[in-house]
Copies of this chain bind each other. A is one copy, B any other.
Amino acid sequence: MRILNRDQIRTALAAVDLMAEIEEAFVAYSEGRSVVPPVGELTFDEPPGEVHIKYGYVRGEDYYVVKIASGFYDNPKLGLPSGDGLMLLFEQRTGRLASILRDQGLLTDVRTAVAGAIAAKYLAPERVERIGVVGTGVQARLQVEYLRPVTACKDLVVWGRSEESLGRYRRDMEASGYRVETTTDAGRVARGANLIVTVTPSRQPLLASADVGAGVHVTPVGSDTVGKQELEAAILGRADLVVVDSRSQCTERGETAHALAAGLVEASALRELGEVIRGGRARTSEDQLTVADLTGVAVQDVRIASAVHRAAASRQEAEID
């Protein structure tokens, strides 16, 4: 049994073909080869906190995974991050504990960013003129970073609520070699980019349909729970193709649920990302408007945790026992 901390996990990740692993996760999910029970939850009132327990596996693979992620919103007052998490990896044939990955949420962040890159690989315009980012947090950075295998584009236009967070984002991304325009007008992002990711916890649409032209791909990532919304539903209504990571999740929450409820999208027209991956690149013309609604699926956790475990084993990270 191995116990890996965040730094060891980061090192192991460098040896993982993340695009391939997460693509296979989505394909397994869409082919019905995964077992993903409902998420367990614990909530706390004083101080406020919530814990989510996600678990599942892909049939015929080596491991099953239990992920425990917490958010305690008063932690910053104590000088602690509000979010924390770890993943436990067990052998499917015996139940034996194989690894404890104390990733503190890193693997969730990375698998989410890789899913964005996969969506772009199959759906973004051939020639990405500018990458639009709505949001300035950790995921707003990672989405761009993990797009590198998909596009050489280094031009960003980024929306945020405050000049301070925009300034920090610009500084960080310029240090990584990007040219960054910042704005507090989300319409500028919508009009100025042809590959857009939205990564906010907004409960009000930030992108208006009137601002989003043809020949654009949009990946909304932030709206992972009921009530959240980043895109005006008409964008999905106009889209030539709406792809979802999980048909069952996206019909209940996320952008797609809003568009279905408004009668702007037919459930039968939705395609799952795993189906798209199997079929190959899904954009058939540079003029299409496409959307990939990502809510996060537990098989992504299973695949990334298994890959990190194998990478650490091949590096001969120390075993306990």
Interface residues, chain A, with chain B CB atoms under 8 Å away = 3, 5, 35, 37, 40-44, 47, 49, 51, 53, 55-57, 64, 66, 68, 70-72, 75, 78, 80, 84, 86, 88, 90, 92-97, 100, 102, 320-321
Contacts and interface: CB of A to CB of B under 8 A. Distances in A.
Given A3-B3, A100-B100, A102-B97, A68 B88 contact: yes
B42 A40 contact: no
Contact of A42 (B35, B47, B71): B35
Contact of A72 (B66, B95, B320): B95
Contact of A95 (B37, B49, B100): B49
A44 B41 CA distance: 23
A41 B47 contact: no
Contact of A53 (B5, B35, B40): B40
B92 A86 contact: no
A95 B66 contact: no
A75 B94 contact: yes
Nearest to A57: B42
Contact of A40 (B40, B75, B86): B40
25 contacts: A3-B320, A5-B321, A35-B43, A37-B41, A40-B40, A42-B57, A44-B64, A44-B92, A47-B93, A49-B94, A49-B95, A51-B64, A51-B90, A68-B88, A68-B90, A70-B90, A70-B95, A72-B95, A75-B94, A75-B95, A80-B96, A84-B96, A84-B97, A86-B88, A100-B100
Contacts of A320: 3
Please list the 4 inter-chain residue pairs (A to B) with the smallest Cβ-Cβ separation, ordered nearest first.
A70-B95, A72-B95, A40-B40, A84-B95
Contacts of A102: 97
Best-surrounded residue of A44, A90, A94 (most CB of chain B within 10 A): A94
Nearest to A82: B95
Nearest to A71: B95
A44 B60 CA distance: 10
A66 B94 contact: no
Nearest to A45: B59
B42 A37 contact: yes
A173 B41 CA distance: 43
Nearest to A70: B95
A208 B53 CA distance: 43
Contacts of A56: 42
A90 B51 CA distance: 10
A23 B41 CA distance: 26
B55 A40 contact: yes
A49 B66 CA distance: 16
A306 to B, nearest CB: 15
A37 B40 CA distance: 8
Contact of A94 (B3, B41, B80): B80
A56 to B, nearest CB: 7
Given A55-B53, A94-B75, A66 B64 contact: no
Given A37-B41, A44-B64, 20 more contacts: A3-B320, A35-B42, A35-B43, A37-B40, A40-B53, A40-B55, A42-B55, A42-B57, A49-B94, A49-B95, A51-B64, A51-B90, A70-B95, A71-B95, A72-B94, A75-B94, A80-B94, A80-B96, A84-B95, A84-B97
